[in-house]
Structure 1
Amino acid sequence: MLWVKAFHIISLVCWFAGIFYLPRLFVYHAACEDTPGKERFKVMERKLYRGITTPSMIATVGFGLWLLSYNWAGYFSQGWLHAKLVLVVLLIVYHFYCGHLVSVFQDDRNTRSHVFYRWFNELPVFILLAVVILAVVKPF
Structure 2
Amino acid sequence: MDWIKIIHILCVMGWMTSIFAVPRALIYWKRDFSATGRQGPLGDLTYRLYRFSAGLGIIAVLTGLWMGWQVWHFVPWIHLKLTLVVLLAVHYVWTGVLVGRAKRGLFTQSET
TM-score normalized by structure 1?
Answer: 0.71
1:76 equivalent in structure 2 = 74
Please show how residues 54-73 of structure 1 align to structure 2 within 5 Å.
Answer: 54-71=54-71
CA deviation after TM superposition for structure 1 residue 110, in Å: 1.4
Q: Quick check: 28-37 or 4-13, which moved more? A: 28-37
1:88 equivalent in structure 2 = 85
CA deviation after TM superposition for structure 1 residue 95, in Å: 0.8
User: Can you list the C-alpha shifts for 1:44-66, whole angstroms capped at 9, x where unaligned?
Assistant: 11110112x11110110111111
Match of 2:105 among 97, 108, 120: 108
One-letter identity of the residue aligned with 1:76: F
User: Can you list the C-alpha shifts for 1:31-56, whole angstroms capped at 9, x where unaligned?
Assistant: 332226742222011110112x1111
One-letter identity of the residue aligned with 2:94: Y
**Segments of 4+ in structure 1 off by > 3 A?**
none
Q: Secondary structure in 2 aligned to 1:109?
A: coil
TM-score normalized by structure 2?
Answer: 0.87
User: For the Cα contact (< 8 Å) 1:30–1:113, is it kept in 2?
Assistant: no
User: For the Cα contact (< 8 Å) 1:42–1:106, is it kept in 2?
Assistant: yes
1:20 equivalent in structure 2 = 20
User: For the Cα contact (< 8 Å) 1:22–1:48, is it kept in 2?
Assistant: yes
User: For the Cα contact (< 8 Å) 1:23–1:98, is it kept in 2?
Assistant: yes
Question: Aligned equivalents of 1:101 and 1:6: distance in 2?
Answer: 31
Q: How many residues align?
A: 111
What root-mean-square deviation, in Å, do the aligned CA atoms of Structure 1 and Structure 2 show?
A: 1.7
CA deviation after TM superposition for structure 1 residue 100, in Å: 0.9
**Which blocks of at least 5 consecutive residues in structure 1 are unaligned?**
116-140
User: For the Cα contact (< 8 Å) 2:9–2:60, is it kept in 1?
Assistant: yes
Q: Secondary structure in 1 aligned to 2:41?
A: helix
One-letter identity of the residue aligned with 1:81: I
Q: Secondary structure in 1 aligned to 2:5?
A: helix
